[in-house]
Amino acid sequence: MNYIKESLSQVFGNQPARPDKNEQSVELKDIYLSKRGTLTKESLAAVELEHGTHVFKKWHRRRWFSIILVNFLFLISYKFDVQLLEGAMTASRFVGFHFADLNSALQVMLAYKHVVLNLVIGTTTVFIMWLLLGGRTFCSWACPYHLLSEWAEFLHLWLVNRKLIKNHAFHRKTRSVFFVIFALLAILTGYTVFETISPTGIVSRAIVYGPGVAMIWVGVLLLFEVFYSRRAWCRYVCPIGVTYAVVGTFSPVRVVYNAEACHHEGDCRKICLVPHVLDLTIRGRAHEVNQDITSDCTRCGMCVDVCPTDSLNFKIKGLDKFL
């Protein structure tokens, strides 16, 4: 399977490619065949029990710590004028190095019809960073709205499990449509419309400079996600994720799936923000014994934490043999 082609296809809302059984290796077919009749509830329960003794949700905790630390540094730098991490999430300066969010920079360039030197410097720095880290790492490891949305998700799932509400999903191509709409609005109006309503920028600025009226909009979004559609903004609207997913396609850091160890119980897909990237964990749906998760993955690590058989793990392509 062409990783880059499949990654970009999923980023722009297409369904994951189903494998052609004639193209699957004999080894992979033998693995699926050997599991027939052996993957019982009892065997899965035994594996989960053993796994539960050493689960610490390490990636979950590291990710929360990362988001809180990054945004706390913005606040400390502003309050005490230490010039460590100045600005906000959309544009900043870290010990002298300029950083500019790729999507924000794109919006500015489209709106003002020219390229600003500081934006070029800032976007180059950020481009290289996320090119190395890969996927939608920005979303789950730095974005402050992502953390608020994740907390709102706990309440949403609690309400759904008690059948008090229903989750409403939208087509994933909706996000691509919004990406085009926001770009066109910037060109036609000469104004960065998306930046005005982006909860990422609003929450980041609220943390640093104090909350304003715009936080009402963030509250409305969170209520919509709690009572109507799980993680709606991140899944179906935000163009930031599209931008970073495209850049992250070429990253060496990936989550890798191993079909041999998998029990196909589906815990990873239940917990995933973008569960389509894990369709390959469904029995018979992998293309290879070891397969990279596409760049639409947020690299949050929750699937790695929850997998009872260690079938999902972070790898650095080219270096994984030495680690």
Residue 198 has pLDDT above 50, yes or no: yes
* Token duo for residue 37: 């009749």
From CA 139, how far away is CA 101, in angstroms rounded?
Answer: 12
pTM to 2 decimal places? 0.89
- 75-97, pLDDT tens digit by residue? 999 999 888 888 989 888 888 78
* Confidence band for 322, pLDDT divided at 50, 70 and 90: very low
What is the maximum alpha-carbon separation in the chain?
Answer: 64
The three-class DSSP label of residue 268 is: helix
Predicted pLDDT of residue 2 = 86
How many residues can be counted in the chain?
323
DSSP 281: G
Structural contact between residues 296 and 33, judged by C-beta atoms closer than 8 angstroms: no
Half-sphere exposure of 160 (CA within 13 A, CB side): 15
Beta bridge partners of 55: none
Categorize the per-residue pLDDT at 237 as very low, low, confident or very high, splitting at 50, 70 and 90: very high
Query: Strand pairing of 312-316 and 253-258?
Result: antiparallel
Residues sharing a CB contact under 8 Å with residue 320, sequence separation 6 or more, in sequence order: 256
- Residue 9 reports pLDDT greater than 80: yes
Beta-bridge partner residues of 99? 92
Confidence label for 279 from pLDDT (cuts 50, 70 and 90): very high
Stretch 266-284: mean pLDDT: 92
Q: What is the pLDDT of residue 318?
A: 73
With the CA atoms of 176, 181, 182 and 183 taken in that order, what torsion angle do they form, in degrees rounded to the nearest 10? 90
pLDDT at position 39 is: 67
Whether the per-residue pLDDT at 48 is higher than 60: the answer is: yes
pLDDT, tens only, 98-115: 888 899 989 988 998 887
Q: What number is the average pLDDT over the span 231-236? A: 95
Q: Percentage of the chain surpassing pLDDT 70?
A: 92
Q: Is the pLDDT of residue 70 over 50?
A: yes
pLDDT average, residue stretch 30-44:
75
CA distances to 49, 56, 129, 270, 306 from 52, rounded to whole Å, are 5, 9, 34, 17, 9
DSSP type of residue 113: S
Lowest mean pLDDT among 81-85, 214-218, 271-275: 81-85
